[in-house]
Structures are given as C-alpha cells and as structure tokens.
Amino acid sequence: MTAHITPLIIGNWKTTPATLKDAITFIKNLDKKYTASKIKLPKKGYYLAVPEVFISEIVKCSVHGYIGAQNVSGISLGQTTGETIPSQLLSTGSTFTLISHSEVRKRGETGDERAHKVALSLQSKLLTILCVGEQTRDKQGNYLSIVEEDIKQSLSLVSKNLFSNLVIAYEPVWAIGGTTPATPHECFEVVIAIRRALSSLVGIDYAKKVKVIYGGTVTKENAHLFIQEGGVDGLLIGRASQTVSSFMEIINICHGT
C-alpha cells in the first residue's frame, strides 16, 4: 500500500449483534471513541457490513462510518422470493456490499451467480468488495492460478469502466478463524497475482484503480504488518470488528501506520 492511500477498514458483523438496539448502541460507542481518538482520522474512516435488517436504522445514527451489506443477489427486479437486489440496498442507505465471502461460497454459490452479482452491483454504483481466496496452499503454487482464474470468471461480465468502484478482498480460507494467519509475505505474493489477473483482463491502467485488501484472522497485533508489508490497501475484519474496543484499535493502528 502506498503511503498516500487512506486504508479501507471494513468490518463484517456476520450474524451479530442480537438486536437492533445492540447494533445502535455499538455504533454510538464506536463513533464516540472515533471522535476521541488521538490519531488524525478522516471524517469517515470505517466500513461496516451489517445484517440487512439493521442497515436503514444504522445509517441514520452512524457519523464516521459507511454502512453496507454482507451479500446481494445477481437477479433483477421481479418475482424471486427471499433475495435482495442492488437498487434495494441503495435505497436503504447502503453504500457497499460484500460479494462471495468464503462462507457464502461454502453454501453453494456458483461462479455464474458470482459473475452476475458483481456485474449488477457495479452497474448500480455500489462499492463492490469481491472476496477471493484459496482453500489450501500447495507447494507447487497452483493456488495462485486458482485465484487468478476466479477473478477472471467473477469479472467476466463487468465493463472496465466500472473497475474504479471495485475492491478485491483476498481471504485465504485456510487462515480464516484459524490459529495461524497468513503472513504478510504470503499475502503479498497473492496480491501480485491478483494485480496480474486484473491487468490481463482490462489493462494496467484500469487495474490500478482497483484496491486490494486482506481478510483472514486480522487482529490488532498483525493489522499494521499487512498494511506495511502485505501490499494491500486495507483490511476486511471479522471477529475483531464485532467488539468496539478491538475494532477501534485496528482503525487507529491502520490510520496511524
């Protein structure tokens, strides 16, 4: 990550907290700590992917953050039950969405579904965070080709003019929730592969517009290492974003690096 880029710090609440009241209390406490920070922070310096049912109310009370969704469908307006389309997310005040988090893929999302999700999300002008990452690492380096092919398939329906609103989140599945996170070096080599895949799709000028972030057991102890040495433009944070103190610590660390 180059020094002049403001890091993207994206939290993923998953299925927490238990109630809307808890969610609002969290945001108010987070913003209070944000305002009191001794680090020079931008007016808005964090992103939170929250349960859809909370978005409209959290948007109203969040002062220093951007609020978004954890997933979106790749279908159009019509007669499908239980799905949310990009325009509906936008109407709630959502500014971004995650797409293809490893947990969503595990539930059966296909490559074709993924490609349509990304295309419709970007066409709707949502900041779109596409998650990619290998299940395991092999000594031959085949995982790099797997990630590159994933990116090419997922972006196969996207016009290059929309790449400026795209973020790639590298989340090595083997590191998520584990005791052994990826190292900044392991992250960096995949970032290079991601950049290579993007350049082969749309050329280096458009590829440069895409931010690449890291997600996979991010903690206050390793956050700065990924920012400094991992070649990324920010972080996708799971469990550590579900507690005000730990999330705020990481925000301070990343903006102070």
Judge contact between 33 and 246, C-beta under 8 A: no
What confidence score (pLDDT) does residue 179 get? 67
9 DSSP β-pair partners: 235
What would the mean pLDDT of 15-33 be, rounded to a whole number?
A: 98
**Residue whose pair of structure tokens reads 């003019």 in the numeric block:** 161
Output the pTM of the full model. 0.95
Nearest to 151 by CA among 138, 167, 165: 167
What confidence score (pLDDT) does residue 3 get? 45
Is 64 a known active-site residue? no
Is 116 a known active-site residue? no
Q: Give the per-residue SS3 of 208-257.
A: CCCEEEECCCCCCCCHHHHHHHCCCCEEEECHHHCCHHHHHHHHHHHHHC
The sign of the CA dihedral 106, 122, 62, 41 is positive
Catalytic residue among 57, 171, 186, 255: 171
Catalytic residue among 52, 57, 101, 103: 101
Nearest to 191 by CA among 138, 140, 227: 227
SS3 of residue 35 by DSSP: helix
The CA distance from 87 to 77, in Å, is 9
CA distances from 150 to 45, 209, 210, 215, 225 (A): 30, 19, 16, 17, 26
Structure tokens at 112: 């074709």
Would you place residue 1 in the very low, low, confident or very high pLDDT band (cuts 50, 70, 90)? very low
pLDDT digits (tens, 9 = 90+) for 96-136: 999 999 999 999 999 999 999 999 999 999 999 999 999 99
- At residue 199, does pLDDT exceed 60? yes
Lowest mean pLDDT among 16-20, 78-82, 113-117, 214-218: 214-218
Give me the chain's average pLDDT, please. Answer: 94
